[in-house]
Each structure stands twice: as C-alpha cells, then as structure tokens.
C-alpha cells in the first residue's frame, strides 16, 4: 500500500482528524493533507512519530511505497559521511596546530620546536584531505556490506 493511503487509513482507524494529527506531529494540517494525497512525504523523524501514534511498526507504515524508498535513498546519499566529517575536523586541527606553533615559537624552519608543530600540522592536513577525498569512494562499499 502506498504511504499516502496508509497514513489516511490509519488516521481514520484511530478516529483522529487531520488537525489533531498535525498538532501531535507539530506540523500544519496542510502538511498532513499533502502526505495523504501523495503530494509530499514526511521526513524520517515524522515517519517514526506516525508509526508510534498509529501503533504499527515503521516497516508496516512504509512498506510497499517505491517512491518513498527512492526518496529515502536519495536523501541518505545527500548526507555527509562520518569519514568526510572526520576529514574536515582533521584539516581544521591541522591549521590550528600550525598557527599555534607559529604563535609559540619563532617561525623558523631551523627551530626544532616550530618544526614539530609544522610537521604535526602537515600530517593532520594530509590525513584530513585523504579522508575527505576517499569518503565518496569507500562510503558505498561500506554501506553495501
């Protein structure tokens, strides 16, 4: 069954008006109406809330709606992976490490203290940029297992 028909059917079984359901979900009545007519889909958080309100599993609520399945897959691909986030954190840490080293010690390539900060920062920079660039390559492989 399509999600739109399922939402309407479950809402009517529970004898809940669109207004009341909208109030429980903190959305507008128009949003509920659009879900029931198939003009739009609720986000994942709202789907979980709907399954709790209707006292059915999330699987029972959404199973059989191929368009929703495609939307959820598309939305999932648009999110930044943890590996890419780690990469950006490492790059930011690298920049801060180099700046901090330059503020503590004179910027001099012969100064071993400054060089320690510089080399540490460059290692972090290298690891961060690798993480950012390989995330799109490895992410599908990790998700498929």
- The answer to whether residues 89 and 116 belong to one domain is yes
**Burial state string for 111-128 with b = 16 or more CB within 10 A and e = fewer than 16:** eeebeebbebbeebbebb
- Among 33, 60, 76, the domain-final residue is 76
Domain co-membership, 89 together with 56: no
Indicate if 72 and 84 belong to the same structural domain.
no
| Structure confidence by residue, pLDDT tens digits, 113-127 | 999 999 999 999 998
Phi, psi of 15 (to 5 degrees): 55, 50
For the segment 3-52, what is each residue's pLDDT rounded down to a tens digit? 899 999 999 999 999 999 999 999 999 999 999 998 988 888 898 899 99
One domain for residues 130 and 92: yes
With a threshold of 0.75, does the pTM exceed it?
A: no
């Amino acid at each position: 069954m399509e999600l739109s028909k399922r939402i309407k059917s479950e809402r009517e079984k529970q004898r809940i008006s669109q207004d009341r359901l909208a109030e429980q979900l903190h959305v507008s009545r128009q949003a509920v109406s659009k879900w029931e007519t198939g003009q739009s889909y609720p986000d994942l958080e709202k789907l979980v809330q709907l399954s709790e309100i209707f006292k059915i599993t999330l699987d029972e609520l959404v199973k059989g709606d191929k368009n929703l399945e495609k939307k959820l897959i598309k939305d999932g691909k648009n999110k930044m992976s943890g590996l890419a986030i780690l990469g950006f954190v490492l790059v930011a840490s690298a920049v801060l490490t180099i700046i901090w080293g330059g503020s503590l010690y004179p910027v001099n390539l012969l100064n071993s203290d400054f060089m320690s900060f510089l080399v540490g920062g460059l290692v972090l920079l290298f690891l961060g940029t690798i993480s950012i660039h390989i995330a799109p390559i490895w992410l599908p492989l990790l998700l498929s297992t």
